[in-house]
Structure 1
């Protein structure tokens, strides 16, 4: 049974329509349709889909283990995780270590025990808003309401703390075929030094852009889209970056496409 069949089975078991499931998860109905038809083969919303359908997210994502987790298992795991979360920890890394150790113990007990992918952090999205001081301008801000549930396992592999990352929704076709319109990427705010060819989130005068960057002599940058046919390279000196109000927000380390 592939992912599309598991999602459809889980949705029907929960007596949900595609629209109802999409609304519960917070994504478009077309995203569920694409997943169930097999046109989309992955999604970072699998945990939310599993929760909405009340099935085991490990089973939903990989097909391993049982479709349903018993109530006793869910309650026990929830209580243990809550106890760890409420305990004293020096920092986020120490907390993640405690959670990881508990998950590792669960793995030793059962081959179908949950992995770190069941544990998520809420990552805020960057959004564009009208400048309250000048409605003719746009500004980039961190959203207080729109968030992405990102697996702790991803953050641990990158050795980044949740407080230092932001999510960005891709708009347009400039980064196709790698990033489609509607994709989401996550960037590390502490990595703003350009490494040639790496992908970065930038604030370009109030517009959020995700581009591959290259260093130029004198401190400037070359901005490159993957769809070079429609979006040719752009080059900026340090002065031109200041005039265009170009600011490097962070390096992209994770991305997913939902459509």
Structure 2
């Protein structure tokens, strides 16, 4: 099933016409029509279109996973009451701090970097949220996505949660990767001989990259963990 078919299916399942979907997304009806006719392979509005139709943005953009959105998969009662907090607010009993990973230059002017945990940047997660994803508290980290290679699903500046214990690659899943000291988020696929294919959602500008097992070792390319959560500001 291609993007045009997925969008048409999602729109009809939501009971929306092309005009209604376009109005809610703040775009022209012609833009929706072009996607559904296969004239456009991608769009910066796919995340918003997916949210309006109530489907998973990754499924809509890439066709992997299921159409059911992560929001509808979760039981709303799990969210609990919403409270206001800042960095000085102590953790509740059912919360944990999850640190961010960052690129750190080894020495001035060398241009070489390594991936380390940040000592001050962190995000709060509910223990139940992590437990429901099968993530151990001490194995969860956050990563900031930079650039446009994972658009429209993950725009520049998006945050993803990564399970450091889940390094065995499952085709079509997103992973954080240490690429010689560069922190990257990609959809991975296994290739014969122990190699990996890196795939971006924005394939028009970022075609697939393939690495043999030898190139992975020589290039210092390591799978850090699987993405289990992401947050996007529209």
Distance in 2 between residues matched to 1:175 and 1:49, nearest whole Å: 31
- Structure 1 residue 135: Cα displacement: 3.0
Could you tell me which of 197, 203, 224 is aligned with 1:228?
A: 203
Distance in 1 between residues matched to 2:158 and 2:106, nearest whole Å: 26
Q: Which runs of 5+ in 2 are unaligned?
A: 1-70, 72-80
2:175 is the counterpart of 1:141: no
- Structure 1 residue 153: Cα displacement: 2.5
Matching residue of 1:206: 181
- Structure 1 residue 257: Cα displacement: 1.1
Matching residue of 1:257: 232
* RMSD (CA atoms): 2.4
Counterpart mapping for 1:172-211 below 5 A: 172-211=147-186
TM-score by length of 2: 0.60
Q: How many residues align?
A: 152
Task: Summarize deviations over 1:204-230 as a string: whole Å, max 9, x none.
Answer: 011000000000000000000000000
Matching residue of 1:216: 191
Matching residue of 1:50: 84
Matching residue of 1:58: none
- Structure 1 residue 152: Cα displacement: 2.0
2:223 is the counterpart of 1:248: yes
Matching residue of 2:97: 122
Counterpart mapping for 1:56-95 below 5 A: none
- Structure 1 residue 164: Cα displacement: 0.6
1:49 to 1:227, Cα distance in 2 relative to 1, 3 A: farther
Matching residue of 1:155: 130
Distance in 2 between residues matched to 1:224 and 1:234, nearest whole Å: 7
SS in 2 for 1:182: coil
Distance in 2 between residues matched to 1:131 and 1:241, nearest whole Å: 21
- Structure 1 residue 136: Cα displacement: 2.6
SS in 1 for 2:218: helix
Q: Which runs of 5+ in 1 are unaligned?
A: 1-41, 53-77, 86-118
1:207 to 1:49, Cα distance in 2 relative to 1, 3 A: farther
User: Greater helix share, 1 or 2?
Assistant: 1
Distance in 1 between residues matched to 2:140 and 2:159, nearest whole Å: 13
